[in-house]
Amino acid sequence: MPLSKKDVLQAVSFGEQVAEDERRQLSAYFVRTGEAQQLADGAIDIVYAPKGAGKSALYMHLLETADDFERRRIILTACEEPLGTPVFRNLVNDLLQPSEEDLQDLWCLYFTQLIGLEFRKRGLSDSDARFVIQHLEDAKLLPSEPSLARMLRSAMAYIKLFIRPASVEGGIQFNSVTGLPAGITGKISLRDPSEAGRSSGVVSVSSLLERAEKVLVTHRYALWLLLDRLDAAFPSNPALEETALRALFQVYLDLKRHEHIRPKIFLRSDIWERITKTKGFREGSHIRRSITIRWERKSLVNLLCRRLLHSKAVSEFYQVTQSDVLASTGAQERFLHAVIEPTPMLAQGRDTIDWILLGIRDGSNQAAPRELIHLFTAARLKQVLLWGLEERVQEGTYLITQKALRNALPEVSQSRLEQTLYAEYPRLRPFITLLRGESPQQSVLSLAKIWESSNEETRTTAFTLVDLGFFEATGKTASPSFQVPILYRSALSMPSSGSWSGEPER
């Protein structure tokens, strides 16, 4: 007996909005974009992306395919737990007002620990590998039962001995022979040791990294240090976050001389813009192996098709195979037009897919996978409810109607507003809240009246909101207009116009 549309819709799952929540399923509908291919080829070290644009999906996909990289002689080392509490949370705060230099030391020592751990796990026993491992073990930086949190904690404790202020126990007491602070176990220095120190066996962290590079060359390995979830590592402490990330990027640049040790950093683009905007980053021009994720229409179409076709019921109902649909962009679009109710109320040249992307794009004109997945997950539930209340299921092949999508958008709107803008930029919440019920089109003068601020202050705030994608700026620089995209209007009880309100577009 053939499946009904209700049966098929019940069987569909669009997956989780957040990559960390669907690690096991991610490979089944991972979209191999150009950015993903460049990253896999080793051409990219830094991945910038807006929130929800898929940087963590790239990171998780790397971890899930670690065996494939191992066959290519590439060791993938996670510097952060993929799930749960980030290891850096609440730990760096233990340092007493860390400077950028202190945090550079922390990153370098932590990376060295992770490299030494990989050498020990693989049983590498040449003289250079033994040298690195032994020094870390002697310094109690490589425990017998390691975890990321335990190693980071030991690295922080080690560094704190070097930066203890003079007000604590009379300041730092140094060993006259090794030149190391009293209490240090082992012989690792954060700086190049003195002649006497070298004679007594003291080595610097940088010399351990040089030895590690030799090990990798000897065994024909490359080692990638993967860093994600940096936006969650330093909650409620923007100053510390800025210092820590500037230190990380400086260490990344310093490590460029080691061809076989490659940090791979996944960072939100808005965070990078913020930390470079305040103080600048003189060496930023040297960061060339980077890319910013931009989702094009065809990539989003591919993502949606993969998630739909992950359900066997969908393939059977439409009598298609995943390979047939994914064979071309045209085949994918034809498939989606069969699944989604046509939207006739569009301007000339636009189709249903354009209509959907128009509803979830932000002020920078970018539509993110997170909102697309959220929209269809919510629309599926709305559609099940609609068909449960209505006696007759509409004719046609489509599983998702315009009505279900419209009913789902307010949930997506509220989530985006609260979990992104309000949660991460609480200072701007009062300005956004004051726009509730107002027109989505505003000028500097109208905003100044609503916010009760001067024109100059209003312009500054408005363009800050443009940077965050809440506003889209149009018009001339001297007299700009600011438009709230459809994505945010429902959450702020703003009127929508055109096809998303059920009215014809003008």
H/E stretch holding 120 reads helix 100-121
Q: What is the mean pLDDT of residues 136-159?
A: 90
pLDDT at residue 281 is higher than 80: no
CA–CA gap between residue 464 and residue 56 (Å, rounded)? 25
What percentage of residues in the chain have a pLDDT greater than 90? Answer: 49
CA–CA gap between residue 8 and residue 318 (Å, rounded)? 10
For the chain, the domains span 1-33+295-424, 34-292
Q: What is the pLDDT of residues 377-416, one digit of tens each?
A: 999 999 988 887 665 666 678 899 999 999 999 999 999 9
pLDDT at residue 15 is higher than 80: no
The per-residue pLDDT for 166 is 40
Highest mean pLDDT among 31-35, 229-233, 500-504: 229-233
CA–CA gap between residue 298 and residue 49 (Å, rounded)? 18
* Residues in the chain, total: 506
CA–CA gap between residue 186 and residue 134 (Å, rounded)? 9
Pure H helices in 255-368:
269-279, 297-309, 312-318, 322-325, 329-339, 352-360
318 pLDDT band (50/70/90 cuts)?
very high
The per-residue pLDDT for 261 is 97
144 vs 275, more confident: 144
Extract the tokens encoding 299: 């990539």
Tell me the one-letter amino acid at 259. E
DSSP 8-state secondary structure symbol assigned to residue 504: P
CA–CA gap between residue 78 and residue 149 (Å, rounded)? 12
Q: What is the mean pLDDT of residues 473-488?
A: 91
CA–CA gap between residue 334 and residue 72 (Å, rounded)? 38
pLDDT at residue 225 is higher than 90: yes
pLDDT, mean over the chain: 85
CA–CA gap between residue 480 and residue 89 (Å, rounded)? 41
The per-residue pLDDT for 96 is 61
181 vs 141, more confident: 141
The per-residue pLDDT for 24 is 55
The per-residue pLDDT for 284 is 62
The per-residue pLDDT for 243 is 87
pLDDT at residue 449 is higher than 90: yes
Tell me the one-letter amino acid at 356. I
The per-residue pLDDT for 110 is 96
Give 40-79 as a DSSP string.
Answer: HTT--SEEEE-TTSSHHHHHHHHHHTHHHHHHTTEEEEES
Q: What is the pLDDT of residues 87-121, one digit of tens each?
A: 887 666 666 678 889 899 999 999 999 999 999 99
CA–CA gap between residue 382 and residue 374 (Å, rounded)? 12
CA–CA gap between residue 358 and residue 201 (Å, rounded)? 64
Tell me the one-letter amino acid at 90. N
Q: What is the pLDDT of residues 153-195, one digit of tens each?
A: 999 888 887 765 443 444 455 554 455 655 566 788 888 887 8
The per-residue pLDDT for 165 is 43
Query: For residues 481 and 323, is the Cβ–Cβ distance under 8 A?
Result: no
421 vs 276, more confident: 421
